[in-house]
């Protein structure tokens, strides 16, 4: 049996999810870039490459990982509010699809770096449309008070500024309004905002090659088995209906969580069951070092005891880290004992990539469904 805690990845579900994504795309101008920040495991990246997706990167190291894994640099985009000169150099030298420019101040730096490399940097303005994504305040990015992007009201100023630079080519506009978006209404509002931008660009006789609508499509954390694969058809229908791209403009999307979120689980062993005055604590060997989302966002992950079928009881599931925030939340589980195995669901996105070795803990390894199945793991645990 693998040593707990570990991340367990269901490759069959990943295949089914990627097939559903591809079948939902009926417009040949649509292109999807996988957001590597969601999960950067090599085997997962290679599977995503097999389905013809590009890569959405937010650091130089993600660009390196994408290229090393097999992504075509021409299918890579780079975003981030604080790109270093080294990261810009890496992007420009590899001639990636585009650099998403997040501020007017960034233009001068991109031009300087491109000039130093005797190159022309292809950029897209990341515009902030002031659209409420109706999601957690820590993962919304499209409101006027967020640090991301150039306010739409400043687009004219940005266009005047970019015209001053000889080593920059404006090829597109980029938007991203947030993450874990469960309603499709914000995307419809985004389309209207993008259409207004296109009308404004037309008035200035400015042509661009591509539109990038970002990502953010959410998953069902509460009932992961009810809808393990997001409804990609309804997602793309919003853009089919409301977005009005110009002829020959390609439309790009940056999906991450919706592709890999449900395929991953964190598997952990119960170390102790501590009976408090009013609470039963199931203390497990996984902690916030392995999955920080509950501590960081107060987020919910469904927890299952996959080694017990006894009567149900309420527990507070907590980790071993010396922090009060090291908790995974309340859960109703079959009667739980030392040595039982818990499965923390929907951990394929923003789980392993956010792990740390705080308290000098080992990082959880990756186990794939074609190496072990959970039934075999349970049999090994019982033996």
User: DSSP string spanning 138-172?
Assistant: GGB--STTSSSSEEGGGHHHHHHHHTT-SSEEEEE
148 has a pLDDT exceeding 90: no
Tell me, what's the pLDDT at 132?
Answer: 63
Q: For position 141, what pLDDT does the model report?
A: 43
277-319 confidence digits (pLDDT tens): 899 999 999 999 999 999 999 999 999 999 999 999 999 999 9
Per-residue pLDDT of 157-177, as tens digits, reads: 999 999 999 999 999 999 999
Span between the terminal Cα atoms of the chain, in Å: 10
Q: For the residues 6-17, what does the mean pLDDT come to?
A: 98
pLDDT digits (tens, 9 = 90+) for 315-342: 999 999 999 999 999 999 999 999 999 9
Give the mean model confidence (pLDDT) for residues 210-235.
Answer: 96
pTM: 0.93
pLDDT greater than 60 at residue 379: yes
Q: What is the pLDDT, as a whole number, of residue 149?
A: 87
Query: 65-82 pLDDT, tens per residue?
Result: 999 999 999 999 999 999
Report d(CA 211, CA 83) in Å as an integer. Answer: 21
Q: Give the pLDDT band (50/70/90) at residue 147.
A: low
Q: What is the pLDDT of residue 376?
A: 75
CB 126 within 8 A of CB 151: no
364 Cβ neighbours under 8 A, 6+ residues apart: 5, 6, 7, 266, 286, 290, 352, 355
Beta pairing partners, 348: none
Please give the pLDDT value at position 234.
97
Distance CA 129, CA 152 (A): 6
pLDDT digits (tens, 9 = 90+) for 249-271: 999 999 999 999 999 999 999 99
pLDDT in tens, 100-142: 999 999 999 999 999 999 999 999 999 998 786 554 444 444 3
CA 186 – CA 193 distance, rounded (Å): 11
Q: Sign of the CA dihedral 306, 308, 312, 314?
A: negative
pLDDT computed for residue 139 by the predictor: 41
Asked whether residue 143 carries a pLDDT value surpassing 80, the answer given is no
For 290, counting Cβ atoms within 10 Å of its Cβ (0-12 exposed, 13-18 middle, 19+ buried), the class is buried
- Residue 40, pLDDT above cutoff 50: yes
Q: What percent of the chain has pLDDT over 90?
A: 89
DSSP class per residue in 296-312: HH-----EEETT--S-E
Q: What is the mean pLDDT of the chain?
A: 93
Residue 374's pLDDT band (cuts 50, 70, 90): confident
Residues 242-246 have a mean pLDDT of 96
Domains located in the chain, CATH noted: 11-260 (3.20.20.10), 264-347+351-382 (2.40.37.10)
């Amino acid at each position: 049996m693998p040593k707990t805690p570990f991340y367990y990845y269901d490759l069959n579900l990943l295949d089914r999810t990627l097939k559903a994504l591809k079948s939902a795309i009926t417009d040949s101008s649509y292109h999807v870039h996988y957001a590597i920040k969601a999960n950067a495991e090599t085997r997962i990246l290679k599977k995503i490459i097999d389905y013809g997706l590009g890569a959405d990167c937010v650091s130089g190291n993600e660009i390196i990982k994408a290229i090393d894994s097999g992504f075509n640099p021409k299918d890579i985009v780079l975003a981030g509010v604080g790109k270093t000169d080294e990261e810009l150099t890496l992007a420009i030298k590899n001639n990636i699809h585009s650099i998403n420019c997040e501020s007017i101040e960034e233009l001068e730096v991109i031009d300087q770096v491109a000039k130093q490399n005797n190159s022309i940097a292809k950029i897209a303005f990341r515009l902030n449309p002031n659209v409420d994504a109706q999601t957690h305040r820590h993962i919304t990015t499209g409101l006027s008070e967020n640090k991301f992007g150039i306010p739409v009201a400043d687009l004219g100023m940005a266009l005047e500024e970019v015209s001053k630079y000889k080593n920059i080519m404006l090829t597109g506009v980029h938007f991203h309004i947030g993450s874990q978006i469960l309603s499709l209404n914000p995307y419809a509002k985004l389309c209207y905002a993008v259409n207004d931008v296109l009308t404004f660009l037309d008035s200035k006789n400015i042509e661009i090659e591509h539109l990038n609508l970002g990502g953010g499509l959410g998953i069902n954390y509460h009932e992961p088995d009810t809808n393990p694969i997001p409804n990609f058809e309804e997602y793309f229908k919003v853009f089919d209906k409301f977005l009005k791209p110009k002829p020959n403009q390609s439309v790009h999307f940056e999906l991450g969580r919706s592709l890999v979120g449900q395929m991953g689980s964190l598997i952990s062993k119960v170390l102790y069951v501590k009976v408090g005055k009013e609470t039963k604590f199931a203390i497990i060997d996984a902690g916030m070092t392995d999955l920080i989302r509950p501590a960081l966002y107060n987020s919910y992950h469904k927890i299952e005891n996959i080694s017990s079928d006894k009567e149900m009881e309420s527990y507070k599931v907590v980790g071993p880290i010396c922090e009060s925030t090291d908790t995974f939340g309340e859960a109703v589980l079959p009667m739980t004992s030392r040595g039982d195995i818990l499965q923390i669901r929907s951990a394929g996105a923003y789980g392993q990539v956010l792990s740390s070795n705080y308290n000098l803990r080992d990082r959880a390894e990756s186990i794939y469904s074609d190496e072990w199945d959970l039934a075999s793991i349970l049999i090994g645990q019982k033996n």
